[in-house]
Every structure is written in structure tokens, then in C-alpha cells.
């Protein structure tokens, strides 16, 4: 799924350096692409690592530019997302097909 998410978001293949141990898949054209899923952030609770919360956001690897975050839900408001330059895409509904 990580390969597909990164490619459909950026039009580029997933970087070879991607370890699969971080929610940050890579950066393309200045946009960081994150994939949240239970377990990646060591939180297997239903509202854990796959939901974008303040706690989850604070634990993400930093990036100064725009961010595309894929997860099952988002608990942050539109103003905060805009300030942080985050585009949230809900899984599975916003995973695009090409």
C-alpha cells in the first residue's frame, strides 16, 4: 500500500531508502508523504497510530514543507491543518486509482 500511496500522491516511485519503520514514506517535489497505520507508531489502539491526532502529529518525523498524511481519521480542525500545511487523505476512501 505504501508504494501505491506514494506513487499516486507524487507520480514518483517510493524511494529505495524507505525502511517501512517510519510513517514518513518520503519527500517528492517538497511534499512529505506520511502513511499512518496501527503499529507504525507503536500504538495498536483503535484511535492510535492510524488516526491523526495532536499526539500523532507531534510524533511524526518533521518536515518544513507541505505534507500529505494518509490515515483512517483526523481529529485536527481545518485551520490547524492549514497552518501546518497538511492535506489529510482518509484511507481507504481517498486513495486514488490511476
Print the domain residue range for 61: 2-90
The sign one gets for the Cα dihedral 28, 33, 39, 41 is positive
Which of 7-11, 42-46, 48-52 has the largest mean confidence? 7-11
For the chain, the domain total comes to 1
Is residue 71, in this structure, part of any structural domain at all? yes
- Residue 98 lies inside a defined structural domain of this protein: no
In a domain? residue 97: no
Residue 85 lies in a domain: yes
pLDDT at residue 60, rounded to an integer: 93
Does this model's pTM top 0.75? My answer is yes
In a domain, 55, yes or no: yes
Confidence of residue 22 (pLDDT cuts 50, 70, 90): confident
Residue 95, in any domain of the structure: no
Interval 66-85: pLDDT, tens? 999 999 999 999 999 999 99
d(CA 15, CA 46): 29
Amino acid at each position: 500500500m505504501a508504494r501505491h500511496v506514494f506513487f499516486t500522491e507524487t507520480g514518483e516511485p517510493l524511494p529505495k531508502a524507505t525502511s517501512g519503520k517510519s510513517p514518513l514514506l518520503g519527500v517528492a517535489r517538497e511534499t512529505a508523504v506520511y502513511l499512518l497505520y496501527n503499529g507504525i507508531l507503536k500504538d495498536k489502539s483503535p484511535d492510535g497510530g492510524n488516526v491523526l491526532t495532536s499526539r500523532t502529529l507531534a510524533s511524526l518525523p518533521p518536515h518544513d514543507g507541505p505534507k500529505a498524511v494518509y490515515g483512517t481519521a483526523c481529529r485536527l480542525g481545518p485551520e490547524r491543518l492549514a497552518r501546518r500545511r497538511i492535506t489529510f487523505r482518509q484511507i481507504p476512501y481517498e486513495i486514488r486509482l490511476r
